[in-house]
Amino acid sequence: MDLVEIAPPEYDVDIELLYATDGNFTGKPVYKTPICYLHKDAADALKKTIIYAAELDFRIRIYDAFRPSEAQWVLWDHTPDPDFLADPRRGSPHSRGTAIDLTLITAEGQPLEMGTGFDAFTPRSHHGNTDISKIAQQNRLILLGIMTLAGWDFYRNEWWHYQLFDSRNFPLVSDKEVPNPMMPPS
C-alpha cells in the first residue's frame, strides 16, 4: 500500500475533510472515518507545497485528498456532472491518492478569498475566471504558483483541485485496501 496518512505534526496543514461532514454538496457525510491519505509521491509534493506556502506566510487547508472508489460512486450518483466529477468508471485521481482539494489560509486559520467556496459547481470556480474580485483572482494565482512550483497539475474547472501530472498511471484504490476504512459499512 503506497498511501500515507497526512496529519500534523509531520505535515503542517489544517485538515477539514468536508466529505466527512454534511457541509458538502451531497448534504450528508460520505466518509464515516475522516482520515487524510495521499499516495507517497503526492505526499512528497505536499511537503514542498507546505514549504512554499510558509515562505509567503500561508498555510494549507485540505478539503479532500484520497477518496475511495466507493466514495467517488456516491458523489457521482448524487451529481453525475463530468465537468466537476470524474466518472467512477474511468476513475478519479482522488481514488488513486494523487489529487488534493485545498485552499490557502492565514497564520490565524482564515481562508483566503477565492471567489467561490469549495465544490461550487459553477463557471465562477474555473481557473482564470475574471467574474470574481481582483483579490480572489490574485489569491488563486498565488495558489496556482505554489502548487505548480511544488509539482502539481491543475484542473481548469476547479480552483481548489490539483493532481500529480501522471495521476492516471497510478492504480485505483478501494476502501477495502486502506489501513483504516473511511466509508460506512454497506
Give catalytic residues, as residue numbers: 158
* Contact between 33 and 67 (Cβ < 8 Å): no
Q: What is the dihedral of CA 175, 180, 185, 186, to 10 degrees?
A: 10
Asked if residue 9 has a cis previous peptide bond (ω within 30° of 0), the answer is yes
Residue reference for cell 494565482: 141
* Burial class of residue 90 in the structure, from the number of CB atoms within 10 Å of its CB (0-12 exposed, 13-18 middle, 19+ buried): exposed
